[in-house]
A and B are shown apart, each in its own frame.
Chain A
């Protein structure tokens, strides 16, 4: 059994981390075959990889740190974890979704669970759960050393990417680590106009190490794994916002003990403790015509642990997870009017959130019609959290708006989801699923203080008396294989919300930000609906040639039947790819129709239709040579990638480009990855 496990591990290092169960989709970020990934390969940003996933769109406020949405829901309705670790962004203006604090090179894959069926550590995931899985070298029977390097360049915005990493694996020990650097100047939108404040710079270093204990009798063996990531972005421009960022910095650490059982119904038991700290500093000193200069730093600290037990019993594969974390969020703002005294306010009142949860999931396999296999997947989680406003000044300030509010609150949330999948004959696979789940208001929604939103030009005030938001989800998927070479699938889901949380006009309050339209206070609306449907087709007429097409339509309505904001219009994508030997070529057309049903009530404005064309190519080759001082022949693998994005240099903005900032114009990129 050990041999078998080790064999699996050496081939697929990720096995030592939580094995994916019932995932909707995975983007493979690192080396590896199969799975989706960005055409830019190894040097692509996490955002570019995320774009490949179904159900995922990205809200863009600049070139850097795009905010993923899943099923047309943003951060507050999603769970994002790094290898099961909770981490919370530190910017009151959402300039730093947590996906921005890791680099592609840190990751093996990004897994997505759509809707309420989240990974065991996920909480509050109504729209979906993303888990960023770290790349670990893993143990290996034969000692192995690997070194890789990447370099990339993009013409539009003078983007430079350099990365290097190294790993060592042996039976008992592994260590891998690397460093990554990105730099971008302002990019040019279609037509050649430079977009001011779209630059950024980022460095990232990471290391993972594992140590396996010697066998100790018949009860399996354990391994210790440690992770450290340091990520720092500086001089990041946000053309859609009034401010930029001088520093966004994260320390991410974890230590885990994983026990692999033998001859037991239990498979593995992993217990991980972690700590992460984010510092985010906004900066408006480089902006011209700033009416009032402001300092707006934010900090987030999270310490937590989870313990995940996985077992297999007959047709069942079950997981039991206990987790807990403590998070602190603090942000403040100091404004400096010329000559007068500085004005100070606490925008996140040092909210301490203590959250504990228990999650259970089970996969049941059974034979289905016509000899194929069917399955029932079930997952559920119950969480309880306690929140305390540790900053007295912030608490008193918010009390002005909510006289008699308490300094401590607690919430109980839960989710439960089931999914049944089966095949009818060989050509039709289908699944149907349903779930219910709730989420507690976020710190911004409950306790945020005069947070200006450039999207609708309103100042937002949190509401400590919000009720939990809940939703019922229904989903289904049908996929047909009409010919062996032709696949066709339909995917649809709908979320029926109760107590949907959204900012509501409060005319009695006066705006704080100069130039703001007014004030909104978060409130629960009785109900809302978000529904998504997509059609995918794939055709492989001859070996090496592949055509695929995808169209997605979404809908969002509030309790008065008005469109919700940031809901995608009809989006489409069609790709033709050809692979022969080491060379592969791809052409892609994508776009969306005019966003006719925009959330006017919520300050959204119409977005025009657009279509762009992208081309990419990928060539792999190897060089045989004698390494210095050695007599054995070595092979050195190279991968070259090049492509043109927005071939016809269209000027366009997507519906999710914050304040309609334009996307990149024509961009030619090339990059190389190679083994050293």
Chain B
């Protein structure tokens, strides 16, 4: 990846030098479709814009979440698939100037509020969400990331809406209760589970297990706590837990793998560990959650009933 980036830089520099000598006034050296590079300090340089553009090629736009602010700016949202599914979904935001199409470096996306309307009972509830969207990679600071982990998929029982606030170069905007569709995961995938400690309900969201391969994998998850008012998005749980994992293959007589390490809380609030997968197929990851004192608060039995299912 490093090499590829390096190559782009070299290309960019070479192209810029070339057009300077041409002196036709247009920096056409880097051609990014739909973007005009100017000396605008709010926006990306040619190299930065190219990095963002390249990154956005790896994800898909979610049209329902796009918005326009003051006729001057556009905000676009992207996910892995261009849609949503049960469990953890990463959402990426960019803001552009309508005039040039270039990416704005600093903007805020806050108060992401997914809301489920349960038709039968006419009740509303939210779901676990990540913190305010923020840059996550120094190579493309103009992309802000956050996540939403959906408790259930859209069905006859209920449907989802999503709202967020945007602040772009001093101008406020956002979307209000846009309808979105959350798809069910295929069989053999279950990435969000809950457990109760006393009256409190916690949610375990497994991050992007589709990236896993046979061998040793990093495993990341978030623990969120249900808000007192169910319509308020569920923030990360302030408590510190340890999550023991026991990956099994139910189709292979509960075959397991050695040397897995428990998920422990990281500085950024996520939980990280390692998981070893000896082959592809359905893995049921049985979980045991311990509190900061080491007491088991959920799971704990042999083949714990608290588990994620992942099929790789």
Tell me which of B30-38, B141-149, B172-180, B209-217 binds A. Answer: B209-217
In the complex, which of the residues B254, B256, B279, B282 contacts A345, with contact meaning CB atoms closer than 8 Å?
A: B279
Overall SS of chain A's interface? loop
A515 interface residue (CB < 8 Å to B): yes
Q: Is the CB of B279 within 8 A of A343?
A: yes
In the complex, which of the residues B188, B257, B279 contacts A340, with contact meaning CB atoms closer than 8 Å?
A: B188
B17 interface residue (CB < 8 Å to A): no
B253 interface residue (CB < 8 Å to A): yes
Q: Is the CB of A340 within 8 A of B187?
A: yes
Q: Is the CB of A341 within 8 A of B215?
A: no
Of A335, A339, A340, A345, which is in contact with the most chain B CB atoms at under 10 Å from its CB? A340
Q: Which residue of A lies closest to B280 (CB)?
A: A344
Of B216, B277, B279, B280, which is in contact with the most chain A CB atoms at under 10 Å from its CB? B279
Q: Is the CB of A396 within 8 A of B216?
A: yes
In the complex, which of the residues B187, B213, B258, B279 contacts A508, with contact meaning CB atoms closer than 8 Å?
A: B258
B259 interface residue (CB < 8 Å to A): yes
In the complex, which of the residues A344, A401, A450, A508 contacts B281, with contact meaning CB atoms closer than 8 Å?
A: A344
Interface bracket on B: 20 to 34
The CA of A568 and the CA of B188, in the complex, are separated in Å by 50
Interface residues as binary, A369-404 with B (CB distance below 8 Å gives 1, 0 otherwise): 000000000000000000000000101110111010
Q: Which residue of B lies closest to A509 (CB)?
A: B258
Q: Which residue of B lies closest to A401 (CB)?
A: B258
B122 interface residue (CB < 8 Å to A): no
In the complex, which of the residues B213, B214, B216, B255 contacts A510, with contact meaning CB atoms closer than 8 Å?
A: B255
Which residues of the other chain, B, contact A342 by a CB distance below 8 angstroms? 280-281
- Please tell me the number of chain A residues within 8 Å of chain B, measured between CB atoms: 28
Interface residues as binary, B240-259 with A (CB distance below 8 Å gives 1, 0 otherwise): 00000000010111111111
Which residues of the other chain, B, contact A396 by a CB distance below 8 angstroms? 213-216
Q: Which residue of A lies closest to B283 (CB)?
A: A343
A514 interface residue (CB < 8 Å to B): yes
B276 interface residue (CB < 8 Å to A): yes
Which residues of the other chain, A, contact B216 by a CB distance below 8 angstroms? 396, 399-400, 403
A345-B214 contact in complex given A340-B251, A400-B257, A511-B255, C-beta closer than 8 Å: yes
Name B13-54 residues within 8 Å CB distance of A. none
Shortest Cβ distance from residue A312 to the other chain B in the assembled complex, whole angstroms: 57
Which residues of the other chain, B, contact A337 by a CB distance below 8 angstroms? 251-252, 281-282
Which residues of the other chain, A, contact B254 by a CB distance below 8 angstroms? 510
The CA of A512 and the CA of B253, in the complex, are separated in Å by 8
B278 interface residue (CB < 8 Å to A): yes
Q: Is the CB of A397 within 8 A of B253?
A: no
Name A333-352 residues within 8 Å CB distance of B. 335, 337, 339-346
The CA of A341 and the CA of B249, in the complex, are separated in Å by 11
Q: Is the CB of B259 within 8 A of A341?
A: no
In the complex, which of the residues B188, B214, B257, B277 contacts A341, with contact meaning CB atoms closer than 8 Å?
A: B188
The CA of A403 and the CA of B259, in the complex, are separated in Å by 9
The CA of A335 and the CA of B252, in the complex, are separated in Å by 9
Overall SS of chain B's interface? loop
B311 interface residue (CB < 8 Å to A): yes
Q: Is the CB of A335 within 8 A of B281?
A: yes
Q: Is the CB of A340 within 8 A of B311?
A: yes
Interface residues as binary, A505-519 with B (CB distance below 8 Å gives 1, 0 otherwise): 000111111110000
A292-B255 contact in complex given A340-B282, A340-B311, C-beta closer than 8 Å: no
Interface residues as binary, A401-418 with B (CB distance below 8 Å gives 1, 0 otherwise): 101000000000000000
Q: Is the CB of A397 within 8 A of B281?
A: no
Name A507-558 residues within 8 Å CB distance of B. 508-515
The CA of A399 and the CA of B188, in the complex, are separated in Å by 26
Q: Which residue of A lies closest to B257 (CB)?
A: A400
The CA of A513 and the CA of B255, in the complex, are separated in Å by 8
Interface residues as binary, A315-348 with B (CB distance below 8 Å gives 1, 0 otherwise): 0000000000000000000010101111111100
Shortest Cβ distance from residue B260 to the other chain A in the assembled complex, whole angstroms: 9
Q: Which residue of B lies closest to A332 (CB)?
A: B279
Which residues of the other chain, A, contact B256 by a CB distance below 8 angstroms? 510
Which residues of the other chain, B, contact A510 by a CB distance below 8 angstroms? 254-257
Q: Is the CB of A341 within 8 A of B281?
A: yes
Q: Which residue of A lies closest to B276 (CB)?
A: A400
Shortest Cβ distance from residue B123 to the other chain A in the assembled complex, whole angstroms: 35
Which residues of the other chain, B, contact A346 by a CB distance below 8 angstroms? 214
A292-B251 contact in complex given A396-B213, A397-B214, A509-B258, C-beta closer than 8 Å: yes
Shortest Cβ distance from residue B227 to the other chain A in the assembled complex, whole angstroms: 36
The CA of A513 and the CA of B253, in the complex, are separated in Å by 8
Q: Which residue of A lies closest to B248 (CB)?
A: A510
Q: Which residue of B lies closest to A459 (CB)?
A: B255
The CA of A450 and the CA of B280, in the complex, are separated in Å by 14
In the complex, which of the residues B187, B213, B278 contacts A450, with contact meaning CB atoms closer than 8 Å?
A: B278
The CA of A86 and the CA of B254, in the complex, are separated in Å by 41
The CA of A335 and the CA of B281, in the complex, are separated in Å by 9
Which residues of the other chain, B, contact A511 by a CB distance below 8 angstroms? 253, 255
Shortest Cβ distance from residue A395 to the other chain B in the assembled complex, whole angstroms: 8
Name B262-306 residues within 8 Å CB distance of A. 276-282
Name A474-514 residues within 8 Å CB distance of B. 508-514
Which residues of the other chain, B, contact A397 by a CB distance below 8 angstroms? 214-215, 278-279
Shortest Cβ distance from residue B213 to the other chain A in the assembled complex, whole angstroms: 7
Which residues of the other chain, A, contact B214 by a CB distance below 8 angstroms? 344-346, 393, 396-397
Q: Which residue of B lies closest to A508 (CB)?
A: B258
Which residues of the other chain, A, contact B257 by a CB distance below 8 angstroms? 400, 510
Shortest Cβ distance from residue A670 to the other chain B in the assembled complex, whole angstroms: 49
Name A289-315 residues within 8 Å CB distance of B. 292
A393-B215 contact in complex given A343-B251, A400-B257, A400-B276, C-beta closer than 8 Å: yes
Q: Is the CB of B282 within 8 A of A341?
A: yes
Which residues of the other chain, A, contact B282 by a CB distance below 8 angstroms? 337, 340-341, 343
Sample (29) of A-B pairs whose CB atoms are under 8 Å apart = A337-B252, A337-B281, A337-B282, A341-B188, A341-B280, A341-B282, A342-B281, A343-B251, A343-B252, A343-B279, A343-B280, A345-B279, A393-B215, A395-B215, A396-B214, A396-B215, A396-B216, A399-B215, A400-B215, A400-B257, A400-B259, A400-B276, A401-B258, A403-B259, A450-B278, A510-B255, A510-B257, A512-B278, A514-B253
Known contacts A403-B259, A510-B254, A514-B253, then 11 further A-B pairs from the complex at CB < 8 Å, ordered by chain A residue: A292-B251, A335-B281, A337-B282, A393-B213, A397-B279, A400-B216, A400-B257, A400-B276, A401-B259, A508-B258, A515-B253
**Leading 7 A-B pairs by shortest Cβ distance:** A396-B215, A343-B281, A337-B251, A345-B279, A400-B276, A344-B280, A510-B256
